[in-house]
Amino acid sequence: MEFPTISDLILQELRRLPLEVTFEPIRPYTSNMTIDEKVKKTYRSLLKARRVKNRMLTLLNAFFLGQLLNDDISPAQRTLQCQTMTAHYHRSATRVYHLFETFGVQQIMSTQALTLTWIRQLKSSEFQDLLCQALEISVGTEILSAE
């Protein structure tokens, strides 16, 4: 009997139907903050969620941090911001963001077991394969919802 791999478990979570969420999770920062303040506040929120073992908040804050580090930021700013956190959290946040970028936070909120550790433990090649499969799932979901 074969046990499912971490990739298989993550794919199950991505295939889960999103919850009918009537609210948008609150970001740990406000729009009038500087990028430095946003990253610092979100990183602190991620660490706090991790410390109190809140799986959902950990994933959401990782997504928001990854979004800050990958959207609308220059390479020079990204380098500066990445120096304010550990490489572990930088890579984890970036992976969570890329994995859920096409699905959105509603899909994160639909997960039942997914953890930051699962995502971080993937080898680079496994993560790249997972991204391709996630894109296929996302496109399939969009086609079904349009019909």
Maximum Cα interatomic distance, the chain, rounded to a whole number of Å: 54
- Residue pair 27/42 in contact (Cβ under 8 Å)? The answer is yes
pLDDT 10s digits, 104-134: 899 999 999 999 999 999 999 999 999 999 9
Residue 146 has pLDDT above 60, yes or no: no
Rounded Cα distance between 114 and 117, Å, is 8
pLDDT band at 18 (very low <50, low <70, confident <90, very high): confident
Strands (DSSP E) contained in 26-69 are none
Rounded Cα distance between 97 and 28, Å, is 16
* DSSP 8-state assignment for residue 114: -
What ranges do the domains of the chain cover? 33-146
Q: Which residue reads 């790249």 in tokens? A: 128
pLDDT 10s digits, 34-59: 999 999 999 999 999 999 999 999 99
